[in-house]
Every structure is written in C-alpha cells, then in structure tokens.
C-alpha cells in the first residue's frame, strides 16, 4: 500500500479528535481526552483556496503546567504523521488557560523550531512516549495509579502552598522553598549569575528572575536553567531543556551560554524519578 500525495481526503473535527484523543499525558497515566486537555469542540477545520486548515486548541490541566510545550509538540507530531502533507495544522493553547501561553504558542507556530525539535532525539523520545502506548495499556496503568493520582490532585487543590503558588502564578509550590531560603540567607541579589540545575517546572527560576530583577532592561544579571524535561520559556531566564547535566555536551553548552561569566549561585532541587519500588530509581 502507498499514499497518493495528490489525493486529499476530506476531514472534519471529529476525525482530528479521534487522532489525538488517545495521546498520553506526559505526567499522569491518563490520555489527553481523559484529562479534558483536548476536546472536539476546540478543534476547527476549514477549507480555503483548495487548502485545508486544521486548528487545534488544547487546555493544560493547570495554568503553570510545565509539560504544555511537550503536549503541543506531541499533538503536532501525531497529526503530521497522520494527515495529508498539504493540510495546514495549527496547534495552540486555549486562550487564558496557561501563564505563558503566548510564548508557548509562538514556539509551536515556529516551523523552524518545531523542525529542530523533531530532530532532537531526546525530545522525540519523550514525544513518542506520549504516542506509542496502546489505549488498553494506558487504561491499565490508569486503573492502577488512579488512587495515587487522585490523591495528588486533591492535594494540589487544597494544599496551602499549592494554592499560594496559583495565586502568585508560580509554576509549583516549591517556589516558596527557595523564597524561605533566600529570606533567611539573602543569597540572591541583582547582577548575579545564577545556574539552576534541574529547573523544571521553572518555579525556582521565577523566584530568581524576581529577586535578581532579570526582566529589567538594564539588568546585568543572568539566569541559566537546565533540565532533562521540557521547560516552558520564561522571560528573564535562559533555559536548556531536554539536556542531561552529566553529559559533556550539555556541560559544553552551559559553558558557551555563560560566555566567561563567573557563576555566583548554583541552585538544584533535583531528585531521582521514583519507580514505586523501594530502593530502585530510574
């Protein structure tokens, strides 16, 4: 069998929804449909000058979701693999549902950046993890992990610091950990060069940007964040996503980014990924 590139089958919003509904969320053992991240009524298909345009909007589960860029990229890759190449696809975050939606939408709309991302083997591995698991296996994991996940979600809705994080638009409650440390020891000052190792989802970077005045035009400070995960863009910070701090290539990139600067403060809130089994980590 082969696909005739000159023949374009008509499509509608339901067909697009069927293609992306079973994409797995990168953080929770549920599909994007189960988490209401994608919905049929947020998909539009239109014909114009013999071209078909598909517009997919998705809604992150929380306003500071650090996986929003990865989710958008997974949707784009899935549709690129499934649709006729002449169909124009636009993927964006639903308006008003994410703190950095404008920056993420620009990334998802930038063809060159998307193409570069698709050539990044580490990033594509993460994307494929969202795409490859069959629905039956996803449901199996969901049933096993449901109690734990619901406990986590309940805590996020009622925890004092999680509530404060949402009120202050921090990406995670851990921001207050760094705030407390800095209030006590006064580590962060304007003009400093700061390296945040393991910076996802970016809450510590947000605190550094605020306390070092990095969004000011005349600021001489610099913040570089590094993480294995995809970290959404943050004004005032330079982020290296999908990079292993122990890799010589990443260390060389950090050196290039610093351009001779002396690092004043190194931050790290890294921890190994738990497997659920005592004494074993990945």
Residue 267 has pLDDT above 80, yes or no: yes
Least confident span in 20-24, 106-110, 160-164, 176-180: 160-164
Residue 13 has pLDDT above 60, yes or no: yes
Other CB atoms within 10 Å distance of the CB of residue 181: 15
Q: How confident is the model at residue 16 (pLDDT cuts 50, 70, 90)?
A: very high
Give the three-state DSSP class for 245. Answer: coil
pTM reported for the whole predicted model? 0.55
Catalogue the long-range contacts made by 252-257 (C-beta closer than 8 Å, 24 or more residues apart).
Answer: 254/195, 254/224, 254/226, 257/224
Report phi then psi at 55, rounded to 5.
-120, 115
Contact between 58 and 26 under an 8 Å Cβ cutoff? The reply is: no
Give the three-state DSSP class for 57. Answer: strand
Q: Give the dihedral sign, CA 116/248/252/225.
A: positive
Is omega for the bond preceding 201 within 30 degrees of 0, making it cis?
yes
Least confident span in 33-42, 92-101, 150-159: 150-159
Q: Tokens 């962060």, residue?
A: 188
- Beta partners for residue 100, in sequence order: none
Q: How confident is the model at residue 201 (pLDDT cuts 50, 70, 90)?
A: confident
207-246 confidence digits (pLDDT tens) = 999 999 999 989 999 999 999 887 888 999 999 988 889 8
Cα atoms found within 13 Å of the Cα of residue 257, Cβ hemisphere only: 19
- Beta partners for residue 45, in sequence order: 54
Write down the H helix ranges in the chain. Answer: 13-20, 68-82, 101-109, 111-118, 121-132, 135-158, 160-167, 175-185, 203-211, 248-258
State percent of the chain over pLDDT 70: 84
Residue 120 has pLDDT above 50, yes or no: yes
Domains annotated for the chain, with CATH where assigned, are: 13-166 (3.30.300.130), 174-267 (3.40.50.150)
- Rounded mean pLDDT of 164-172? 86
Q: Kindly write down the DSSP assignment for every residue of 14-33, as one continuous string.
A: HHHHHHHTTPBPSSSSSBTT
- Rounded mean pLDDT of 183-201? 95
Contact between 86 and 26 under an 8 Å Cβ cutoff? The reply is: no
State percent of the chain over pLDDT 90: 49
What integer best gives the mean pLDDT of the chain?
Answer: 85
Residue 2 has pLDDT above 60, yes or no: no
In 3D, which of 87, 90, 84 has the Cα closest to residue 109? 90
242-260 confidence digits (pLDDT tens) = 888 988 989 999 999 999 9
pLDDT at 88: 92
Distance CA 208, CA 194 (A): 8
55-83 confidence digits (pLDDT tens) = 999 999 988 888 999 999 999 999 988 88
The gap from C-alpha 217 to its chain's centroid, in whole angstroms, comes to 27
Other CB atoms within 10 Å distance of the CB of residue 260: 5
Q: Tokens 């809604």, residue?
A: 59
137-151 confidence digits (pLDDT tens) = 445 555 555 555 666
User: Cβ neighbours of residue 7 under 8 Å, at least 6 residues apart?
Assistant: 84
């Amino acid at each position: 069998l082969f696909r005739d590139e000159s023949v374009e089958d008509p499509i509608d919003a339901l067909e697009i929804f069927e293609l992306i509904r079973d994409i797995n969320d990168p953080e929770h053992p549920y599909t994007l449909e189960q988490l209401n991240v994608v919905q049929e009524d947020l998909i539009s298909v239109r014909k114009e000058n013999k071209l078909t345009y598909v517009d997919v909007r998705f809604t992150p589960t929380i306003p500071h979701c650090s996986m929003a860029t990865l989710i958008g990229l997974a949707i784009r890759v899935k549709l690129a693999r499934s649709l006729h190449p002449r169909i124009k696809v636009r993927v964006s975050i639903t308006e008003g549902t994410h703190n950095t939606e404008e920056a993420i939408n620009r990334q998802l709309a930038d063809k060159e950046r998307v193409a570069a991302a698709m050539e990044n083997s580490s990033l594509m591995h993460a994307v494929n993890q969202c795409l490859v698991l069959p629905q039956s296996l996803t449901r199996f994991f969901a049933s096993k992990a449901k109690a734990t996940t619901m406990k986590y979600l309940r805590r996020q809705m009622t925890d004092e610091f999680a509530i404060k994080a949402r009120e202050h638009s921090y990406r995670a409650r851990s921001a207050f950990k760094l705030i407390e440390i800095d209030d006590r020891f006064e580590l962060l000052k304007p003009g400093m060069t700061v390296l945040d190792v393991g910076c996802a989802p970016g809450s510590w970077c947000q605190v550094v940007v605020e306390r070092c005045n990095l969004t000011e035009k005349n600021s001489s400070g610099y913040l570089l964040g590094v993480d294995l995960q995809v970290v959404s863009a943050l004004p005032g910070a330079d982020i290296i996503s999908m990079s292993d701090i122990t890799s010589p290539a990443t260390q060389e990139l950090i050196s290039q980014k610093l351009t001779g600067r002396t690092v004043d403060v190194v931050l790290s809130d890294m921890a190994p990924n738990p497997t659920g089994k005592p004494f074993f980590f990945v």
